């Protein structure tokens, strides 16, 4: 029974990793760049939700929707302002720019007087409620995370698989120039993808907020989402979630069975093992260039 | 404008391109040698930091700027060097021996990290080094019998067979000597076949391979040399800062190191030192600038991170060749006066090419 309990909390934590990883994968899948600012976007989303609920007195659901929409716009603006000018430069330029965005976001939030340096709680309707199911004690917060993640993942999967926009995004990820020749508006799509990724980050932030509180360094959890994305295979949406679950469960189990300290590095040990055994991840595609 | 007519092969591989180079670098060295005589103690300490970060930067530059392998866990090598030096110095080893041991251990760790580099590239490598950095930080925090854990560890005074570098000036000279030797060694490496192989790997792995370059060997070598230099820097860093704790060698330090070489200018040794200069003087500049800002902003703790982020973004967007690139443009402007054109260094517009197929 204890094992089951550990598994459930691991899965809930893993879903958060998966959600952030989903943002990485979205951006990687469509533009083949990696955003290191995903964790900070999540933090911004959570703070935005907080500001809407505590500052302006919005009801939770309205605030959540408004925060997600605002973050999507912010993502589109971000792509237009700083990512688009360096399109086509080595991938590392974009990594550095997104690290810079992360610094700016963290610095900007810290600079808000009386708010930035404090830890806040987000008033969600389902806070601190507990469900008993067959001997298991489940926090509703965790259940909400799991359900939302599953829904979101299915939605995105369907979009990439069946909608015209999704297919166009896949095309532009494989070869931007060829996609452009086929009449795909590559630049607009890139903006859209960044918006989508920022929206997903905002959702992750709002879901994580009741579990860990809202504070300026909550974005560092994004660094644990990288292993999740790699374990799943960087270009695969279901892979991101599965990777997140693997990391979450391993972390939760190693926190219980292994000596103190292993919990914090479990994710990184897993990713190093994965890179050594299967560099393309569980669901990654294995492509090689023919010369 | 100076025209160089190369008549001997020696001229082509000479470290100094012409007599002017010798003059200016000689003057710079002379200025650095007499620095303790005219610099206040505080600024001498900052200059020492610049030299230490310069050594680490040269190492990272070799890896990232010349071999094209990016490491997001370089602070770990710094940490390995710093802790090895501290532990050995506490046991009474003289500095040259403990420095050699710290260097060797860092190089060995670098070789281990280099192993995944043989199979993974691009972003996967960045994540592998990131993961490695976290693991090393955790080990430093948990292995309390050796590292002192989160409580930290006091570093003894630098001791070379009885001669103690206990004044800021004497320690500055140690750093200067080490930095000059490290820089010359790397410059020499870069003009040798090994360095050419690194550059070839950076520009195209496939063509390097078809020219007969053993990818695995050279990538591992690059990691080893880079980690060794980081270890040297770490050993000096330990003596400079006098007190070690694991959080000094975390992800933020790694990012600072990367930021340093990107802002300095990727692919130039000058860039490593310019970047180090930037990294050390920036907090001072921000402190100076605070007087001109409204009180609420100036007092905010996030100001430094905010400014760093803005500067980093601005450099990648507008000056991808960094401070050294800016200097090159300035020099070309004077060289060609009045014929400099605005578009001379313009980047070619290009579409993104897939990394997955490389």
Give tens-digit pLDDT for A92-146. Answer: 788 889 999 999 998 888 887 777 777 877 777 776 677 777 767 777 888 888 8
> Which of A228, A276, A251, A218 has its CA nearest to residue A102?
A218
Whether residue B244 is predicted with pLDDT greater than 50 in this model: the reply is yes
Count the Cβ atoms, other than its own, within 10 Å of residue B63: 29
Is there a contact between A88 and B352 if contact means CB atoms under 8 Å apart? yes
Which of the given ranges, A50-59, B267-276, B311-320, has the highest pLDDT on average?
B267-276
Q: What is the mean pLDDT of residues B88-109?
A: 92
Contact criterion met (CB below 8 Å) for B136 and B226: no
A85: nearest CB among B122, B317, B358: B317
Please tell me the predicted confidence (pLDDT) of residue A287: 57
> A97 vs B357: CB contact, 8 Å cut-off?
no
**In terms of CA atoms, which chain A residue is nearest residue B119?**
A279
pLDDT of res. B358: 46
Q: What is the mean pLDDT of chain A?
A: 84
pLDDT of the residue at B47 = 93
Selecting from B120, B126, B134 the residue whose C-beta is nearest the C-beta of A279 gives: B120
**Residue B95 CA: distances (Å) to CA of B16, B167, B177, B233, B236:** 31, 16, 13, 13, 10
Task: Check if CATH label 1.10.3110 holds for domain B24-277.
Answer: no
Q: A100–B316: do the CB atoms touch at under 8 Å?
A: yes
pLDDT tens-digit series, residues A44-89: 999 998 888 888 888 888 888 999 999 999 999 999 998 888 877 7
Provide mean pLDDT across the span A13-27: 86
Is the CA virtual torsion A177, A99, B225, B16 positive or negative?
A: positive
Q: Name the DSSP letter for residue B347.
A: P
pLDDT recorded at residue A291: 47
Q: Is the pLDDT of residue B295 over 70?
A: no
- Closest-CA residue of chain B to A34: B123
Mutate to test the interface with B, among A30, A104, A179, A230 (most CBs of B within 10 A): A104
* Nearest-CB residue to B320 (from A93, A106, A177): A93
Residues 158-217 of B with CB under 8 A from A: 206, 210
How large a percentage of chain A has pLDDT more than 70?
A: 96
Facing A34 at nearest CB: one of B116, B123, B350: B123
Q: What percent of chain B has pLDDT over 70?
A: 94
Across the interface, do B316 and A97 touch by the CB < 8 Å criterion?
yes
State the pLDDT confidence band at B242, using cuts at 50, 70 and 90. confident
CA triple A52-A54-A59, angle to 5 deg: 60
Q: What residue segments make up the domains of chain A, in order of their start?
A: 2-277
Chain B segment 53-112 residues within 8 A of A by beta carbon are: 70
User: Which residues of chain B does A116 touch, with a Cβ-Cβ cutoff of 8 Å?
Assistant: 300, 302
Query: Mean pLDDT over residues B5-20, rounded?
Result: 83
Measure CB to CB from residue A287 to each of B138, B349, B357 and give the nearest one: B357
CATH entry, A2-277, from 2.170.130, 1.10.3470, 2.60.40, 1.10.10:
1.10.3470
Confidence of residue A288 (pLDDT cuts 50, 70, 90): low
Nearest CA in chain A to B296: A113
Q: Which residue has the tokens 């990713």?
A: A271
pLDDT-derived band at B299 (thresholds 50, 70, 90) equals low
Q: Which of B130, B259, B302 has the CB atom closest to A107's CB atom? A: B302
State the alpha helices, DSSP H only, in B300-357.
303-318, 322-336
Closest CA to A227 of B133, B249, B224, B216: B133
Question: What is the mean predicted confidence (pLDDT) over B321-331?
Answer: 88
Give the max Cα distance, chain A.
61
- Chain B residues whose beta carbon lies within 8 Å of the beta carbon of residue A274: none
Whether the per-residue pLDDT at A270 is higher than 80: the answer is yes
B128 Cβ neighbours under 8 A, 6+ residues apart: A271, A272, A275, B113, B116, B117, B120
Using CA coordinates, name the residue in chain A closest to B114. A276
Averaged over A146-158, what is the pLDDT?
87
Residues of B in contact with A91 (CB under 8 A): 122-123, 355
Dihedral sign of CA atoms A158, A160, A166, A168 in order: negative
* Chain A CB contacts of B316 below 8 Å: 86, 93, 96-97, 100
Which residues of A fall within a CB distance of 8 Å from B310? 100, 104
A146: closest CA of chain B, how far (Å)? 26
pLDDT digits (tens, 9 = 90+) for B121-131: 777 888 888 88
């Amino acid at each position: 029974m204890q094992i089951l309990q550990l598994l459930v909390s691991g899965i809930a934590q893993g879903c958060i990793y998966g959600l952030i990883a989903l943002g990485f994968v979205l951006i990687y899948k469509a533009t083949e760049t990696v955003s290191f600012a995903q964790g900070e976007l999540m933090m911004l989303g959570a703070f935005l939700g907080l500001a809407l609920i505590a500052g302006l007195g919005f009801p939770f659901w309205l605030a959540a929707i408004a925060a997600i929409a605002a973050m999507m716009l912010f993502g589109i603006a971000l792509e237009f302002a700083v990512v688009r000018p360096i399109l086509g430069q080595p991938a590392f330029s974009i990594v550095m720019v997104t690290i810079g965005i992360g610094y700016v976001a963290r610095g900007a939030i810290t600079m808000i007087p009386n708010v930035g340096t404090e830890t806040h709680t987000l008033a969600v309707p389902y806070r601190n409620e507990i469900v008993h199911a067959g001997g298991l004690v489940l926090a509703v917060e965790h259940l909400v995370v799991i359900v939302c993640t599953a829904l979101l993942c299915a939605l995105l999967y369907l979009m990439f698989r069946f909608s015209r926009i999704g297919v166009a995004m896949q095309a532009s990820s494989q070869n931007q120039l060829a996609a452009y020749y086929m009449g795909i508006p590559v630049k607009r799509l890139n903006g859209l993808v960044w918006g989508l990724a920022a929206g997903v980050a905002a959702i992750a932030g709002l879901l994580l907020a009741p579990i860990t509180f809202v504070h300026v360094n909550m974005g560092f959890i994004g660094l644990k989402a990288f292993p999740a994305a790699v374990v799943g295979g960087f270009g695969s949406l279901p892979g991101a979630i599965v990777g997140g679950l693997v990391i979450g469960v391993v972390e939760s189990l190693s926190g219980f069975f292994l000596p103190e300290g292993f919990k914090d590095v479990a994710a990184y040990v897993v990713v190093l093992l994965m890179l050594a055994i299967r560099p393309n991840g569980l669901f990654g595609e294995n492509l090689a260039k023919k010369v | 404008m100076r025209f160089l007519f190369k008549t001997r092969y020696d001229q082509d591989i000479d470290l100094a391109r012409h007599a002017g180079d010798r003059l200016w670098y000689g003057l710079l060295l002379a200025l650095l040698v007499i620095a303790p005589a005219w610099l206040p103690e505080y600024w001498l300490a900052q200059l020492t930091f610049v030299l230490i970060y310069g050594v680490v930067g040269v190492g990272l530059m070799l890896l990232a700027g010349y071999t094209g392998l990016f490491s997001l866990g370089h602070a770990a090598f710094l940490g390995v060097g710093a802790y090895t030096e501290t532990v050995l110095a506490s046991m009474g080893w003289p500095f040259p021996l403990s420095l050699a041991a710290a260097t060797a251990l860092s190089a060995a760790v670098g070789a281990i990290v280099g192993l995944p580099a043989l199979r993974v590239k691009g972003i996967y490598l960045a994540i592998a080094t990131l993961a490695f950095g976290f693991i090393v930080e955790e080990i430093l925090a948990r292995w309390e019998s050796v590292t002192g854990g989160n409580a930290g560890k006091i570093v003894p005074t630098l001791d070379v067979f009885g001669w103690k570098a206990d004044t800021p000036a004497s320690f500055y000279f140690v750093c200067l000597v080490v930095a000059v030797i490290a820089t010359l060694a790397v410059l020499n490496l870069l003009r040798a076949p090994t360095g050419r192989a690194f550059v070839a790997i950076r520009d195209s792995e496939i063509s390097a391979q078809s020219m007969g370059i053993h990818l695995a060997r050279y990538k591992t070598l690059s990691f080893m040399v880079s980690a060794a230099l980081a270890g040297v820097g770490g050993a000096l860093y330990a003596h400079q800062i006098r007190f070690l704790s694991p959080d000094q060698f975390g992800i933020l330090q790694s990012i600072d190191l990367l930021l340093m070489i990107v802002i300095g200018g990727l692919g130039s040794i000058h860039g490593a030192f310019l970047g180090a200069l930037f990294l050390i003087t920036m907090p001072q500049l921000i402190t100076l600038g605070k007087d001109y800002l409204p009180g609420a902003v100036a007092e905010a703790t996030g100001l430094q991170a905010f400014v760093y982020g803005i500067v980093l973004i601005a450099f990648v967007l507008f000056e991808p060749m960094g401070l050294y690139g800016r200097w090159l443009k300035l020099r070309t402007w004077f060289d060609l006066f009045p014929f400099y054109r605005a578009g001379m260094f313009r980047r070619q517009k290009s579409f993104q090419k897939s990394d997955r197929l490389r």
